[in-house]
Structure 1
Amino acid sequence: MSIRVVLVDDDALVRSGLKMMLSGAEGIEVVGEADDGRGVLAALDRHRPDVVLMDIRMPQVDGIEATRLVREQPDAPAVVVLTTFDADELVLRALQAGAAGFLLKDTPPAEIVRAIETVHAGDAMLSPTVARRLISLVAGDGEAAARADRARTRLELLSAREHEVALAVGEGRANAEIATELHMSVATVKAHVSKLLSKLGVENRVQIALLVQSAGKDYN
């Protein structure tokens, strides 16, 4: 069964290019489009997508608010934010709103396809490079100290093994990498990640990563 994708971008040329590119990918079907975040809920109702590719800068309802709206829906699809990465803070806010990751608009087609497959499988698209940039962003604002205290308090709820898995997620590692590094099966890693979501009160692994990053570079 194909992965159903909805494109949300105010630039018709971007939507057309993405649709053309994804039409050649096996196992992916673009089932709908919206030209602004205000149309995203109607697109969900009409097309029932598995993944939404969401522009972050739109004139009426931006990608942050639209992501929040999507993730509040029952059986919500995964959201991947599209960005030029010239505004890290907006990307951070979108991830906090529930996005499963993000893509640069000039990402090679094969990587876009892999990203869609990854988030549809329940994994995150947070590469180590992205993790480092977000760590710098989180550490650089005026609320960093208070955020670190709150994050560390929540992370104290974890067992030693859950702590190790959380740190690996915070470094942007995929389940298979974590399994190899910590000498456990992928299924066991997935079980630990599910426990982390429940214990930490977050909805996806990207938010686990953000919490670990907020705890500060000395957290270990």
Structure 2
Amino acid sequence: MLVFGNIWTEPLAAIGALPVEQVAWGFPQGGGGFGTDGVLRGGLLPSVLFGTLGRPPTDRERAVRQVFREAGLRIKEQSDFRGWLWVHFVSDAGLFSQGLRVGSLSKPAGAPRDFREALLAGRELLPLLEARGVDLRRHRGGVLLFRAPSWLMAPVLAWLTAHVAPLRVNFEAHSDPDAEEPPVVCRDTLAEARRLGIAAPRLEAAEPTFARVGER
């Protein structure tokens, strides 16, 4: 079985009773979302990320990789896939929280101020990753956006999302205000920050936009 998406729980706990040796871990390189018309729009890059949990790939995992190679996709490897998934998850939490605050995940595209807030929200979550045991030195590329000066990175991201077609389409596709993923990602991230005693003031300030009915 190929697990091909993001999770915030421990990977081995997420698969439950499935035999570990029969599970492969991967992540698509692309993006998109459902519009208000219920249509899924997005794009897929010509590469796919695969990872392992601290050991070399098994024969089954190598076979899964070969299937994607034969489909014409390039393979990227990540040896600390658990850490990579969680870095990606908090990155989404930072971006989603700002998108929810301004009314749509499509609105930050081309908006430096919104990207600055999203980056700062993500930066505040880096201690949460460390508290969960992620070695951020192994994910320097993944956290560079948050550690670099936000006054520099926010205009760059705004320009890219306004002028680079795949990125622009990715953001524009997230136009459904009732999408389920963004509030769930934000809720789960904030709940874990509170459980571990990690301050996340920007994510907490956005809580009214993603709290369940009755929790607001």
Q: Same fold (TM over 0.5)?
A: no
User: TM (normalized to structure 1)?
Assistant: 0.26
Q: Could you say which structure has the greater relative contact order, defined with CA pairs below 8 angstroms and 6 or more residues apart?
A: 2
